[in-house]
Structure formats: C-alpha cells, structure tokens
Amino acid sequence: MVSPASAGPSRRTVLKSSAAGAVATTGWCSPSSAQGVAKAIFVLVHPAWLGGWCWRKVTPLLRDRGHDVYTPTLTGLGERAHLANPEISLATHVEDVVNVLEFEDLHRVILVGNSSGGMVITGVADRVPTRLAQVVYLDAFVPGDGQSLVDLLPPDRRQAMENLVKVEGQGWLLPRFAPLPPEKILRDSWGVTSDEDVSWALARLRPTPFRHFIDPVSLTKPAAADLGRVFIRCQQFLPGKHPAFDRHLAMARQTPGWRARAIETPHLPYVTHPAALADVLLDLATWSGSPSLPKVDDHKNRDGLPDHR
C-alpha cells in the first residue's frame, strides 16, 4: 500500500497531547487515578489493516499507572506483514492472541478488541475463558456462534469487499473496507484528522487476509458465557449509520453480565483520543467483571462512573 516510514509521534508529544485530550474530551478525573487500583493486565487486539503499533499512544498511559499491557500483532499485518499468505484465517488470529496469553502465562486479563478485533477476542474468550477477567468490545463486532464478520454487515457491503479482494487483493487479501482511498477512509470515516497521525497510520496500514472477515466463529465452551463483557460505542463513528455497532450497544444495555459505555470519539480512539480511552480502560480495571452484577444503563450512570457523553 505504502512503504514504511519513520517512527510515529514521539512519547513526549503523545503524553502531552493525551493529557490535554483527557481534560478536553472527558472533563473529569478517573476514580482509578485518584484512588489507585491493583495491577491489571490488558491485552489490546487491533483490527484489520492495523497492527500492534496502533496502541502506541495508549500503552504508556496504562503502564504509567502500574498496569501491564500487551499489544500483539496479528499474523500478516504490521511488522508481521511478511508472513501474509492465503492460508491465514480467523483461527490463525485467534491463535496469535491465545499464544500470548499462554506463553506469557497471563491470568485475569482484560481483553480488548476494536472493530474486526471483536471477532478475534470472541474466539479467544471461547478458547481460554479461565485466563480472562473481562472481554471488552471497543466499537467492535460481537458475533454469535457460527457467524462471520460479513454476516453482520449489509449484503451490499459484503459485495463491495469481495470485489476489492478480486480486483486488488489477488483473490485473498482485502486492501481496505471500501473503494475510497485509504487517506479518505482515515479522515472521513475513521475521524483521524491530524496530518501527523494520518501520515503515521498510512505508512503502516496493510491488506488483511480475507478469511479474517469470512470465517465463522465457533463457540464451544459454556464457561465463556460467564465472563463479564463490555461494549464501548464510539459515538462519532457513523452515529445511527452503523447498524451492527448500534445493535451491539442496545444489546449490551439490556443483557445481564454486560456493561455499556458511550464515548464521544471517532472509531480509533487510541489514535485520536488516547487519554479518554485510557480513562475508560482504567475504570474497567476496578470492575470485577462478575456477570452477577446488574446490567448497567450508561444513560443513567448507575455505577457512579462517568458516561463520556
């Protein structure tokens, strides 16, 4: 798509802009920052086209509070793009994350997935539920048993993606989700408006094996249903025009064992609003994830945490 570029925004720039963003975007002090919480373990799963690099602004904000953070890159993407091949499947990407949990011997993990990363974390939760504390869908797809990502999209969207795979992806790669140029997708759809961020991301986006989108999730472990789950809706991403995410938010508001959040950010808050996202994740670290807790309507904010509206 584009050749690699120099490193992205500096740590000083990231932390400075993140601190400013926390005040401007959230306007509140996180309870976890004021009171302190026990060390949490976050595993952050990126979506299609991106890589573990995309979390660069958020990881220092969580680590500086004493938490552990892992940002695996899925096979065929990011710095692992050289491994791309037609055999890479959704199961491969699930295995990528499961291996991090097992080889690092991680337990009580807060597993976060954005967008198509929701497919991956659903599979991971089914594979190793005893290693997880919470499963967090950040503006992400929430599949049921036997569903693929394209099953959650309107039929015309699937057709457009299949055409891109055929014309530009050698029959097995999806270069982007729509015919629009990547820069226009970043700016107009995903809400990345900073020239620095756009340049940083464009240099690192890579085509994604299409099986990431068309392979179904298979759910086999009843224990996975006992995990606490959270859906976070990024309200500035096609509000009212993305039926899948709007349905998932409504489901989370109505289902015991789920929590719902809405934040005033675009679709990639770890790029555009890292401080606001970090605050939400830090608050989740104070929740046990027990599905026995009552469902939470984020409109009424009954758990005492800010709503980020």
Active site residues: 115
**Helix or strand run (H / E) with residue 43:** strand 41-45
Tokens of 302: 């009954």
Tokens of 223: 């224990």
CA distance 66 to 189: 34
Handedness of CA 222, 93, 109, 283 (dihedral sign): negative
At residue 172, φ and ψ (nearest 5 deg) are -145, -5
Tokens of 262: 């809405």
Q: What angle do CA 228, 232, 234 make, to 5 degrees?
A: 175
CA distance 259 to 261: 7
**Helix or strand run (H / E) with residue 174:** strand 173-174
Are the CB atoms for 273 and 227 separated by under 8 Å?
A: no
Q: Is 306 helix (H, G, I), strand (E, B) or coil?
A: coil
Are the CB atoms for 75 and 48 separated by under 8 Å?
A: no
Are the CB atoms for 207 and 229 separated by under 8 Å?
A: no
Are the CB atoms for 49 and 74 separated by under 8 Å?
A: no
Residue partners of 29: CB distance under 8 A and separation at least 6:
none
Tokens of 258: 């789920």
